[in-house]
Structure 1
Amino acid sequence: MNTRHATPDKDAIALLEPFERLGLDRITLVNTGPQACAAHDALVVAQAWGFDTESKPTFRVGESSDGPHVLQLSTRERAWVFQLHEPECRAVAADLLARSGIAKAGFGLGDDRKRIIHKLGIEPAGILELNTIFRERGYRKDMGVKGAVAVLFNQRFQKSKKAATSNWANAQLSESQLIYAANDAYAAICVWDALQQSTG
């Protein structure tokens, strides 16, 4: 297929109606063993998850990140935000990401994959880079979550720069961090769903 599509620019996206994000009532913070087990049981029944990670930013030249510090997985109903400083949460996160048969869809996942292998000691299975699907459909450049939401839903996905560059290694995440992290994964599963329907 040789059709080429333009990716919408920032100005065009800014004019769109906002994408409806998950509120805190549909976001579960996972930072204990029992919470991780409950999240595991809820997630393994799904066919696919939206997937992303967050790492504490590095500011000094040569400083390497020991992230990811947070893993977020989402279905269409709910998102789970795992804090990976807790050993039991890390173990469950590793089990989920190594599980085959469940697609894990997201944007710009190359760096996430490398960090996961380093931090959790597993090769993630079923990773689905959504940018690749858009390229196959004739979009010239990496779409990213904002472009994908604009193209598929004609809506504007809001991302907080402050939350993006916040300290994800904090023992206690703020509400804005939870909303930011969860919705990156939630938007990815919404995009994956829409792409599946458009090929079906």
Structure 2
Amino acid sequence: MKKTNTFQPKIGNEETAALPAIEYQGEIRVIEREEEISEACAYLASHPVIGFDTETRPSFRQGVTFRVSLLQLSTPERCYLFRLNRIPLAAPLLELLGNAKVRKVGADVAGDLRSLRQLRHFRDGGFVDLQAIAPDWGIEEKSLRKLSAIVLGKRVSKAQRLSNWEAAQLTDKQLLYAATDAWVCTEIYDKLQQTPRTGKK
């Protein structure tokens, strides 16, 4: 039975900060060797819906930018973190990113795809942008943090966002942050799909 839509259009920073945190509870696998890519993509392609996100090393100097460092693709049970500063955007990944049968859910998908295309051009398929569909439920917020707060009633930490994603070894906090960012997109999406639309079409 579908639930009634009680989502608020907006939420303040203080109200968001007061919510309980949400963290990924599944297995996290870091992929930093090219020979590991195919098996990871085969697993992900067997799922109808996966979470999608990227991370880029922050630049604190004007005019200096870095290429995308990490691609996160997640199911509820397992999240793969592809270290694109160490491995190529190889054919199995391109096939998965273009597979329209596998729904890849993210926030600001266009921005992430633009970053990935700086590494290699590819055709995308099957992407769902939470920012684009949230207005159908009357939600006006765009950030993943605010979308999670409104839809799930949970707070996504942004503490690791500006950390070094090209570090020799990613910390446990970075791994958990990256996995949570991808996975929570599917949680938001699932909750929206179980709720009647009441906003603009």
Counterparts in 2 of 1:61 and 1:14: CA distance versus 1, 3 Å: closer
> How many angstroms apart in 2 are the aligned matches of 1:89 and 1:114?
13
> How many angstroms apart in 2 are the aligned matches of 1:133 and 1:147?
14
* Contact in 2 for aligned 1:117/1:123 (Cα 8 Å): no
> RMSD of the alignment, in Å?
2.3
Question: Which structure's residues are more often helix, by fraction?
Answer: 1
Stretches of structure 1 that go unaligned for 5 or more consecutive residues are: none
1:154 alignment partner in structure 2: 153
Query: What is the percent sequence identity of the aligned residues?
Result: 28
1:77 Cα deviation after fit: 1.5
1:69 counterpart letter in structure 2 = S
Runs of 4+ in 1 over 4 A off after TM superposition: none
1:7 counterpart letter in structure 2 = K
2:147 counterpart letter in structure 1 = A
| Residue correspondence of structure 1 range 35-184 to structure 2 within 5 A | 35-65=36-66, 67-87=67-87, 90-142=90-142, 144-160=143-159, 163-184=160-181
1:42-61 deviation digits (Å, cap 9, x = unpaired)? 10111111100011112222
Stretches of structure 2 that go unaligned for 5 or more consecutive residues are: 1-6
Counterparts in 2 of 1:6 and 1:115: CA distance versus 1, 3 Å: same
Q: TM-score if structure 2 supplies the norm length? A: 0.85
Q: TM-score if structure 1 supplies the norm length? A: 0.85
1:62-120 deviation digits (Å, cap 9, x = unpaired)? 2232x211000011222110011344564433232122211111112222111112212
1:174 counterpart letter in structure 2 = T
1:101-159 deviation digits (Å, cap 9, x = unpaired)? 111111122221111122122132222110111122222342x2222222222222222
1:138 counterpart letter in structure 2 = G
Aligned length: 192
Counterparts in 2 of 1:32 and 1:89: CA distance versus 1, 3 Å: farther
